[in-house]
Every structure is written in C-alpha cells, then in structure tokens.
Amino acid sequence: MRAIADLDDHEGSVSLNGVEQKNITAHEWRQRVALLSAETCWWLDTVGEHFQQFSEEDAGLLGFKNNVANWQVSRLSSGEKQRLGLLRLLENEPDVLLLDEPTANLDYKNTLEFEKFVTKYVDERPACAIWVSHDIDQLKRISQQQYEIKNGNLYSEQAEV
C-alpha cells in the first residue's frame, strides 16, 4: 500500500489513467492516489484547522454531531480520528483510495457508516478503492473483486455481489 502511494522505495511500476507514477511529482501522485493509514496523525490544535473547508454535512454522514471542527485533537478517540481522517483525505478528491484496515477501531454501527460513505464516494466520483481487511463479512459487503494474500502469493476470487 505504501509503495502504491510512493511512500516506500519499491520495484515495478504503477500507472493511473495512463500516467505513470514516476512521470509526475510524488505529491501530485499522492493527491490522486490517497492512502489512509491505520493510524492517522493530527498535528494542529483543532480538527477544523486540518481541513481546507470542513463539511459538517459529510461529518454528519459519518455519525458526528455539530461543531466537530472546533474539537480539540487531543481528545479524539482513535475511531474518531479514523473517520475524520477519511474526510480529510477525500478533500483532495483522489481517484484511488488505499484503505489499510480503516475500520479496525470502529464499532459495528460506525463501520457500516464508514463503508457506506466510502461506497458513495467511489460511486459518485467515480473512483476506486483498495481496501485491506481481515473481516470476511466486510469484504462481502463492500467489494466487487477480492484478492487474498497467502504465504506471499496473491490469489483472486470473484465476490458474490
């Protein structure tokens, strides 16, 4: 995942809509191919400062009540960080979403909302998402194509949509 976002040194080549990774600057690539890591990081005081334009409406879809933008970052739970991290990442309107166990810290209700939000974004943009998960049921809910890594080999199987 980090290699696809060009954050780790890697072999092989990746391209998006015919544009090869190494032919555009790394930050342009990362704006289009966005990685949501398992732990998001917040470095300013309040949530809103990390956004260009905070959308209360989108936050509402992810189960947040009003005024999230003014919340202190230090008081966010890891689940809240994860959901807000998704919102922040989508501001760049990426074409590809790389999600690394994004719902590991979320309860069932929030997980469903998170899935719905990502699916909606992917359908409307349109974009695609690569979603790493250990939860078979989740993969059944969200994916069109599943791959499994077993002993370092990649296996493909069609999901029952």
Partner 1 sequence: MFIKLTTFDLSLAAVLVVLLGVLSAYMKLGISRQLYVAAIRTTIQLLLIGLVLKTIFETTQPIFIMLVCMVMISVAGWEILSRQKRKLKGWWGFGVSTGSLFVSSFLITLLCLFTVIQADPWYHPQYAVPLLGMLLGNTMTGIALGMDRLTQTAWQQRPVIEQRLMLGESSDQAISDIRSDAMRAGMIPIINSMAAAGLVSLPGMMTGQILAGAEPVEAVKYQILIMFMISAGTGFGVISVLWLISKRLFDDRERLCFKRLLKQSAD
Measured distance CA(128)–CA(30) in Å, rounded: 14
- Residue from 59, 86, 89, 99 touching partner 1 (CB under 8 A): that is 89
Q: What are phi and psi of 17, to 5 degrees?
A: 50, 40
Q: Which is nearer to partner 1, 30 or 103 (CB)?
A: 30
Q: How many residues bind partner 1 (CB under 8 A)?
A: 23
Q: Which is nearer to partner 1, 51 or 139 (CB)?
A: 51
Q: Which is nearer to partner 1, 40 or 103 (CB)?
A: 40
- For the segment 120-159, give every residue that binds partner 1 (CB under 8 A): none
H helical segments located in 4-96? 26-32, 56-61, 78-90
Measured distance CA(97)–CA(90) in Å, rounded: 9
28 binds partner 1 (CB under 8 A): yes
Residue showing tokens 């974009």: 127
Measured distance CA(93)–CA(12) in Å, rounded: 26
- For the segment 91-110, give every residue that binds partner 1 (CB under 8 A): 92
Residues that bind partner 1 (CB under 8 A): 5-9, 22, 25-28, 30-31, 34-37, 39-41, 43, 88-89, 92
